[in-house]
Amino acid sequence: MDRDHSVALPEERTYRHHGAIPAYLKRHYWWAYVHPRAVQVFDRGWLINCILLGNYRRLVREALVEFDGPHFARILQIACVYGDLTPRIAQAAAEFMGSVDVVDVLAIQLRNLKWKLPARLPTKLMRMDSEALELAGEQYDSVLLFFLLHEQPEAVRQKTMKEALRVLKPGGKLIIVDYGKPYRWNPLRYLLAPFLALLEPFALSLMAEPLERRLPDGMAVTQHSYFGGLYQKVVARKPR
């Protein structure tokens, strides 16, 4: 069905310091996110579910369950996500009179997301780098990182998490869903390693150390594992 172009679309802003596309993104993920045809190829529900071995819908549900009433007030999602995660968050936030901001360094990803979002939802799209968010501190009730950290080199990963915590309000939730370290009995622990090393060159370093160890002391952290440990959800509450 064609989209009604007379309907208002979510606000999109470009910030002056968003910078060029990061070198690691152009080098390792040009085929998945940067190339003009990337969104046409990969933003398909069945394909995303296959890539995540049938777990995409489950992991989306596990992310959504963390947004209760107060944590729908103001949400930041760092990096666009293929599939229907963001439209579902935005629709739920609207029911609680909340809002969703989404940042991404790639204009093509923001444009793709813009056209997936139903009209007149409380959503703002902003182009900026996760390493240096041009956002005021302590303004969001929840910050979501959904399958972003495994795509970043360690130094970038650390800056992204630092920025996520900076813009999070005291008492707010940082929600991370990503790859985890498979249990010893899980055959995927060995079978997936060569493919991840080739296609996701930074994933193995993320999986090598528990995510909660990367968080500052004093945070209340809960961790959940799925699919034999291959995927994880970490929820950290910022001290008041």
CATH, domain range 11-237: 3.40.50.150
The predicted-structure confidence for 119-158, as pLDDT tens digits, reads as follows 888 899 999 999 999 999 999 999 999 999 999 999 999 9
Contacts of 139 (CB under 8 A, 6+ apart): 74, 167, 169
Q: Is the pLDDT of residue 195 over 50?
A: yes
* Selection from 67, 61, 111 nearest residue 84 by Cα: 61
β-bridge mates for residue 11, sequence order:
124
Terminal Cα-to-Cα distance of the chain (whole angstroms)? 47
CA distances, 120 to each of 99, 109, 208 (Å): 11, 19, 42
The model's pTM: 0.91
Between 128 and 2, the higher pLDDT residue: 128
Contact predicate 200/187, CB 8 Å: no
Q: Is the pLDDT of residue 48 over 50?
A: yes
Residue ranges covered by each domain of the chain: 11-237
Integer Cα distance of 146 and 91 in angstroms: 18
β-bridge mates for residue 235, sequence order:
175, 222
Contact predicate 77/89, CB 8 Å: yes
Contact predicate 158/129, CB 8 Å: no
DSSP 200: -
